A and B are shown apart, each in its own frame.
Chain A
């Protein structure tokens, strides 16, 4: 079973991102469970979204205490409580303009992949709404779900600016592909 935590702040779209990711995995024929635990859903307070993906019906109903992968919407939340859910193998994708080298220096022993979600979203006319860009980067980092499936879900679910959301998702995907290429080289 793949266990994912998406961490953001109320209003950033972490809960929506979790549901979109679950929809994409479901569209690929996987079993999914996605829920958010929020402190009354106030704007700006930390919000955790939990996603489980498996090939058989998911029965367990508790928070994820050890994540296989983390998507963090706000680098200021990449600290104690969230890092406690990460092991050495946990892939962490974080919304940040900082470089991978800076994260490697600050968080030694962690696998952190930054995606500059804000710049990507602004380039595509999405303002501060970063979840499409981040989901694209995250999908490349964990090699699932497939990009065409994810972009189809984003296109279907986006209330407006469908093409812009799809383009931001694809650019997020490419930005992580580039980073992984550099790391492999």
Chain B
């Protein structure tokens, strides 16, 4: 038992070292822009770069749009499957897992071929069209996580009874969705939303191949041309991911309080 614990500590410390070194290394590197002294110059340069502001703003907008799209698409579908078509669950689940099987680069390759200017739906012909296409692409990327989160949330509530109760009080479908189902799975939706945000904000492949001015390609561009700024950007990106995960934890902890009372 004692030796057991020794090995456990050893592997844990080795693992932690592996994870901590890059974080320390990156942070340390990001402070070295000024010769001979640590400074936050790299961060200042990055944050004041208009390109940074523009691309970051673009990606935040895209992330928010993707979240809305994901919620509108996933919540009613997951609800409907639970309520009316439980036999379709395996099919829907399989589809939502497809994005884990098909690499993003393949999907976006398909977009470029399918929706080019000479096709029946020339989405890539205009900037707005391409933005929409990119948002759809991001929605597919987020699909596995969003669907799982919402479906788990729906499992916890009795969808059928809630719906019948609302119907007996005269509520229509829109009211049921927005006033009954959505508030009850809000925590799950928020978890999915934060995860979506974390995925979209630094996404590179789709944005780069569709030629949109997103944060991911900007990162890559800076990485190819600068020395210290990429490290600062990596620290910022890691901070955003932490923030999203922290918010998920926070939200799910909040949800446990009222649940415990039930």
A binds B: no
